[in-house]
Amino acid sequence: MSFREVVRFALRGLSANKLRSALTMLGILIGVASVILLVAVGNGSAKAVSDRIEALGTNTITVMSTNRGGSSNTSLTTEIADALTDPTMAPDVASVSPVVSSSATITYEGTDHDVSTFVGTTTDWFKASNTPVGEGAGFSADDVAQGRRVVVIGETVAEELFPGVDPIDKQVTVSGALFTVVGVLAEKSSTGNQDSNDTAIAPLNAVRQVLSGYGALSSILVEAKDPDKVDLVQSEVSTILDQRLTTTASSTSSNSTPYRIQNASQLLETQTATADTFTTLLGAVAAISLLVGGIGITNIMLVTVTERTREIGIRKALGAPRRVILNQFLIEATLLSVIGGALGVAAALIGSNFEIVGVRPVIVPSSVGLALGVSIAIGLFFGGLPASRAARLRPIDALRYE
């Protein structure tokens, strides 16, 4: 009795009850598709997060002050920013961009637009923060030195203020001061709730003069010469900062340093770990539905065995060995799960072309293999009980069964 023959018997058995077989397959289909798809969604969101962080620039660190508006010797100043460019103490620093930022209202010919982040910085910032200028040009080092009132606006700002008009060389008003638009930033992929295109960049001193005043800096963006040297730069920067920002061993913030360093690559690792947990959780929930599908197979196969007890008796009387009966029912169960699984993979592949809850799913190839493998295993495992029950039937009992 060849294997092909047994498969043909099994197929005939399945096609005898098409609706029932189809519904059982649907259970496995949903299980497999949800495993693949949910893992893909988890993976997709992890990828979105890491893309977002990479967009910030993985070879940079951001220094921020922990106590805003506190005593002047613990706040970040331009002197501290300049000190970070020290080639002997910080040899791996490529550039340092002091940053002040605030929100502001930009006005052009009577149209107002509130910019969530109006950034004052230096020319290096564009490269370090991975924010290229699309149209026009960034401002020059000379502009920064002179504190010229020029501004580079984000895509959203350009659309709001200059619908259908070329914004370059137009004059806008920010807090009563006139700024000349010199460029528009290239569109950035918007992530999360915050519109990263709703921004405007101007020379540091111009912003300080007009908006923020000459107080502390919001942050300092430090670019490393090489992405591998980010951690090195971080320690160099902290050494310098520890010297400069003398913590008056005070009672308030006891041991903690007066500054905080945000390291993009560290952030990336943390976020990836979080996303992995999320993905595992989603996969586990989906695996439960796969398990339920498997129990559906057991249920249906038990019904089938009971229904076909007489047929089993006939086959045994005609000389079918126990093993052939076992194989026939095992293969029926496995076919159910394999066909259901294959359709599930197809459904998942189709489903992954659509955006799900705002996330573009990214299929993990191993999850496809795993889900298929598990569905085959489920067929064998959950089909095993009914199949062995069929094989154990005594032919006279089975023949007498009505």
Partner 1 sequence: MTRPVIEVRDLQKIYGEGEATVHALAGVSLVVERGDYVAIMGSSGSGKSTLMNILGALDVPTHGTYHLDGVDVSKLGDRQLALARNRLIGFIFQSFNLIPRTTAVANVELPLAYAGVKPRERRRRALAALSVVGLDDRAKHEPNQLSGGQQQRVAVARALVTEPALLLADEPTGNLDSRSTEDVLNVFDDLSAAGRTIVIITHEDEVGARAKRLVRLVDGRIVQDTRQSPLNQRPVGAFAGRHTA
Q: Whole-number minimum distance, CB 316 to partner 1, in Å?
A: 7
The DSSP-derived string for 112-130 is EEEEEEEEEE-THHHHHTT
Q: Do 148 and 91 meet the contact criterion of CB atoms below 8 Å apart?
A: no
- Alpha-carbon span 293 to 161, nearest angstrom: 56
Q: Whole-number minimum distance, CB 391 to partner 1, in Å?
A: 10
Count Cβ atoms within 10 A of the Cβ of residue 6 and give its class: 0-12 exposed, 13-18 middle, 19 or more buried: buried
Count, in order, helices (H) and strands (E) of the chain: 13, 10
Position among 86, 165, 322, 358 found at the interface with partner 1 (CB under 8 A): 322
Judged by beta carbon, residue 96 or residue 312, the one nearer partner 1 is 312
Site string for partner 1, 280-319 (x = CB under 8 A): ------------------------------xx-xxxxxxx
Q: Whole-number minimum distance, CB 304 to partner 1, in Å?
A: 13
Residue 394, C-beta contacts closer than 8 angstroms, at least 6 positions apart: none
Judged by beta carbon, residue 68 or residue 310, the one nearer partner 1 is 310
- Alpha-carbon span 119 to 105, nearest angstrom: 13
Judged by beta carbon, residue 112 or residue 307, the one nearer partner 1 is 307
116-175: which residues touch partner 1 (CB under 8 A)?
none
Judged by beta carbon, residue 93 or residue 325, the one nearer partner 1 is 325
Choose the stretch contacting partner 1; rule: CB under 8 A; options: 47-55, 207-215, 371-379, 394-402.
394-402
Q: Whole-number minimum distance, CB 311 to partner 1, in Å?
A: 6
Decide: is 68 part of the binding site for partner 1 (CB under 8 A).
Answer: no
Decide: is 399 part of the binding site for partner 1 (CB under 8 A).
Answer: yes
Please state the length of the chain: 402
- Alpha-carbon span 256 to 239, nearest angstrom: 14
The DSSP-derived string for 71-96 is -GGGS--HHHHHHTT-TTT-TTEEEE
Interface with partner 1 by CB under 8 A: which residues?
1-2, 5, 12, 16, 310-311, 313-322, 324, 394-396, 399
